[in-house]
Structures are given as structure tokens and as C-alpha cells.
Amino acid sequence: MKTKTEVDCFVIYTDSESWAGSVHADQALNDYRQKMGIPAKLVSVALSGDRFSIANPNDAGQMDVIGFDTATPNVISDFIKS
């Protein structure tokens, strides 16, 4: 937001430590959407398999992915395009 960069989708690759920063990813995305006027999406890719949810399950513009294999880039791409 500081540089007014227009972004269609943010992709987070995480170890599921969802509160490492000063603001949760869901709130940061909502702030970005409001201030920039862009319906940006969020994909959170957890590289460790434990209970987590960074993406807001009530927001169709956010998606959690657990694990990573050869299909993951296409799944993310399809979500971004939808």
C-alpha cells in the first residue's frame, strides 16, 4: 500500500506461524482491498501439515493449501484466474 503497487493475488508460503507479524494476513488483505480498491486474493500454502488456517474460510477470495506437489502451481493459478 505504501508504494501503491497493484496486486491481483498475494501468495504466502508458510510454516503456519500465522501471527509472526504485527497484523494477521486476513486483516492486511482487507486493508489493502479497501485502500487500493482492488479485489485482491490471498493464497496461503502451508508447507507443514498441522492444523492451521491463515485464509479466512468465509472469504471466497482466500484459499488455504496444505502441502506442495506438482499440481499446486496449477491449483493456485486456477484460483487466481477465477
Give the model confidence (pLDDT) of 9-22 as tens digits: 999 998 766 566 67
Residue 3 belongs to some domain of the structure: no
| Total domains, the chain | 1
pLDDT at 61: 97
- What is the share, in percent, of the chain residues with pLDDT greater than 70? 88
Q: Minimal CA–CA distance to 10: which of 68, 56, 71, 58?
A: 56
Average pLDDT of span 58-67: 94
In a domain, 24, yes or no: yes
Residue 1 lies in a domain: no
Give residue 7's identity as a one-letter amino acid code: V
Predicted pLDDT of residue 51? 67
Compute the distance between CA of residue 37 and CA of residue 66 in angstroms, rounded to an integer: 29
What mean pLDDT, rounded, does the chain reach?
Answer: 89
More confident residue, 52 or 25: 25
**Domain that includes residue 57, residue range:** 9-81
